[in-house]
Every structure is written in structure tokens, then in C-alpha cells.
Structure 1
Amino acid sequence: MIINFKQNFQKTTIAFALLLAFTSTAMADEQDAHLAIENPAELSKEEAEAFYRSLARRMARGYAAARMDLIRNYQNWPLFNDAPYISATHGQRYVNSYANRMAHNYGTLLEGEALPMGSVLAKDSMTVTDEGNVHPGAMFVMEKLPEGTSPDTADWRYIMVLPDGSVFGDTTGDRSAAVAYCHDCHEQVADRDYTFFVPEEYRVAN
């Protein structure tokens, strides 16, 4: 009986420790959705593209669980990079930059120009570490709203969708404070209608 008690106690203690560790990690992830990857793999364009192809369907299904018409079939939109590239502003994850047809001038936007209302930019992401860990990351979405709709964000809506389809935050909806920092970052490129563009060495003509 004493042996069984000790075994059960040890099992309970281990289970509780694991639960506590999982909960702490989840809380940390929620508090810092851009928690940087410390050891991203250095991939060639071909390697990055191969990893993305292996995850693409899984990523599309995951984001689709959010049931947002805004990003429906986003992988069929024009893609502005020729291979996934590391984005320092998205936690050292590999990203792709898609834009819907309304954002027809995204790739040629000049200083002082703006994207039309209804433009949607979608940046999906994946984690690839030098230890061989590969998995989908969050999707980062920007939507150009009607003029005057959101003066605090220059009429841009920011949304973060997690790989399982849950919405981490939406500046026009739930948990808006969780993604308010998005616009703070994009203010660096206010002269390009608050939109970053693909690094020159990864750009494609659309």
C-alpha cells in the first residue's frame, strides 16, 4: 500500500508539474505573440519553399477554421515573394506576403500613394529552427477600411489568426489591445500607407 501510494503521489506530482508548465507557456505565448524564435534555420530559397509546400494545406485548413471571409482562399491571391523569407518583425519566422486583387498597387506603391479601400494583405508564417522543428505560425492580416472608420490606425484593421483558427486579436473587435502594437510598428512606413514590402532579393513582379 505504501509503495502504491508513493507511485500514485509521484504520478500526480509529475502530472501537475506538466500542467503548470503547459499553462505557463500558454500564458507567455498569449502575452507575447511575437516571441522571437531564438534559433531560426538559415534556409535557401529552395529549402524554404519546400518546407512551405509541406505545410501549405495544413496552414490553409487551420486559418480557415476562423471562418473569416476576409482571408478565404488567400493562397490563390497574388504572392509578392518568390520564396518564404525571415521577418524580424514577426518573431524571426518565415513569412509569405499575399494581397487580394483590390490591393492591385501593393507591389508598386510609391511614397505618398495609398491602397484602395477593401485592400487586404495576408502574411502567413511558419517556424523553422536549426534543430529541425517545423510548424505553422500565425497569420497577420491588414484590411483597408473606409476613410474615417479608424483614425487611430489610419483606417487600417489589424488581425492575428493563430494556426488553429482562433483569433488572437482584432483592432476592430475582440482583444483589440492585444494587437494594438501592430500599428505602432507599421507607423515606421507611414509614407507607404503603413505597409511594409517584401525584401528586394525576394520580390517578384505581379
Structure 2
Amino acid sequence: MEELQKAYGKSGSDIAASYQSWRLYSKVPYVSFTHGERYVTNYANAAAKAYGAYESSGVMPEGATLAKDSFSVTAAGQVSIGPLFIMEKMGAGFAAETNDWRYSMIMPNGAVFGVTGGKGSDNVQFCADCHMATDTDSMFFLPEEYRVK
């Protein structure tokens, strides 16, 4: 897991540099079909502590940040680092069309693929589009068998 943070850290993002110190909400990496069929792990910062209530978490406060690092494994057992997926709850009025979430994706080489309302915003619009399909403040939750209680 240290390799993941090191790779994403090349971006200069404070989130990429610190997310692995946040609370981990997945017992083990699990396959997320909505994140490219990669293995992911779920982290949330202190402002997002309600995330642990999962579907009952309510609306996240400004500053709540969720991160999913990712990797894939080939049939031959070769591991490849995938993107870091980030959701940051912004202040009211940031973007009604995203429930005021800012989505970011950092690639394994540290390149920022896109940020809602910033450079490459169109590249992460699909994140917002997918997340808007839920009524839990745009959050989806990991399968119950992988959840930290």
C-alpha cells in the first residue's frame, strides 16, 4: 500500500500525501466494478467520520473527503497500480449538479486526470454522473462483507 501513496504523491496533492493516515473502512481490498474492475480500499478523513454509518451516514459536512486507491492483478499475478479516486465535499453552492462534491482522479504516475470545476473537469464528469444516481448524498458504499464496523 505504501507504493500506492508514493505513486499518487507525485501529484503534489495534500490528499494523496495523507489519505492512508485516515480511517480505513474496508477490511481488505475488494473488486469495484464501477472503478474499472480494480481492487479498491475505502478511506475517509475525520470530517467524514459519519461514513462509517454507511447508508445511514446522512449528508456529509463541508471538508469531508473520501478516497479510494486502486490496483489490478493480471491472470499471471502481476500487480498494477490504478488511479486514486477522491470525493471532497465542498461548500454549499459549489456545484448543485454534483451535490457540492468535487471529484478528482490521480493517475499512478501522479498526473491529475481531472478535477470537478478545474483542469480536466470533463474527464471526471462521469464520476459525478454515476454518483448522482444514489440518494445517499452521492455516496455508494462497499459490500457489507468488506465493511469495517
Q: What band does the TM-score fall into relative to the shorter chain?
A: over 0.9
Q: Distance in 2 between matches of 1:199 and 1:148?
A: 31
Q: CA deviation at 1:59?
A: 1.1
> Which sections of structure 2, spanning at least 5 residues, go unmatched?
none
CA distance 1:114–1:172, shift in 2 (3 Å): same
Q: Write 1 or 2 for the structure with the bigger share of strand.
A: 2
**Relative contact order (alpha carbons < 8 A, sep ≥ 6): 1 or 2 greater?**
2
2:117 is equivalent to residue 202 of structure 1: no
Counterpart contact for 2:5–2:16, Cα < 8 Å? no
Amino acid at match of 1:73: S
* 102-111 or 125-134, larger mean C-alpha shift: 102-111
Match of 2:132 among 187, 192, 198: 187
Give the match's secondary structure for 2:132: helix
Q: Distance in 2 between matches of 1:124 and 1:104?
A: 18
Q: Distance in 1 between matches of 2:52 and 2:141?
A: 8
2:18: which partner in 1? 73
Within 5 A, what are the aligned runs for 1:42-191?
56-110=1-55, 113-189=58-134, 191=135
Amino acid at match of 1:192: T
Amino acid at match of 1:175: G
Give the match's secondary structure for 2:41: strand
**What TM-score results when the alignment is normalised by the length of structure 2?**
0.95
Q: CA deviation at 1:70?
A: 2.9
> Which sections of structure 1, spanning at least 5 residues, go unmatched?
1-55
Q: CA deviation at 1:72?
A: 2.7
CA RMSD, 1 decimal: 1.3
Q: Distance in 2 between matches of 1:144 and 1:117?
A: 5
Count of matched residue positions in the alignment of Structure 1 and Structure 2: 149
Question: Between Structure 1 and Structure 2, whose CA radius of gyration is higher?
Answer: 1
Q: CA deviation at 1:198?
A: 1.4
Provide the identity percentage: 45
CA distance 1:66–1:199, shift in 2 (3 Å): same
Q: CA deviation at 1:188?
A: 2.1
Q: Distance in 2 between matches of 1:107 and 1:183?
A: 21
Q: Distance in 1 between matches of 2:33 and 2:24?
A: 19
Q: Distance in 1 between matches of 2:141 and 2:57?
A: 15
Q: CA deviation at 1:98?
A: 0.4
Q: CA deviation at 1:151?
A: 1.4
Q: CA deviation at 1:86?
A: 0.1
Counterpart contact for 1:107–1:197, Cα < 8 Å? no
Amino acid at match of 2:79: V
1:23: which partner in 2? none
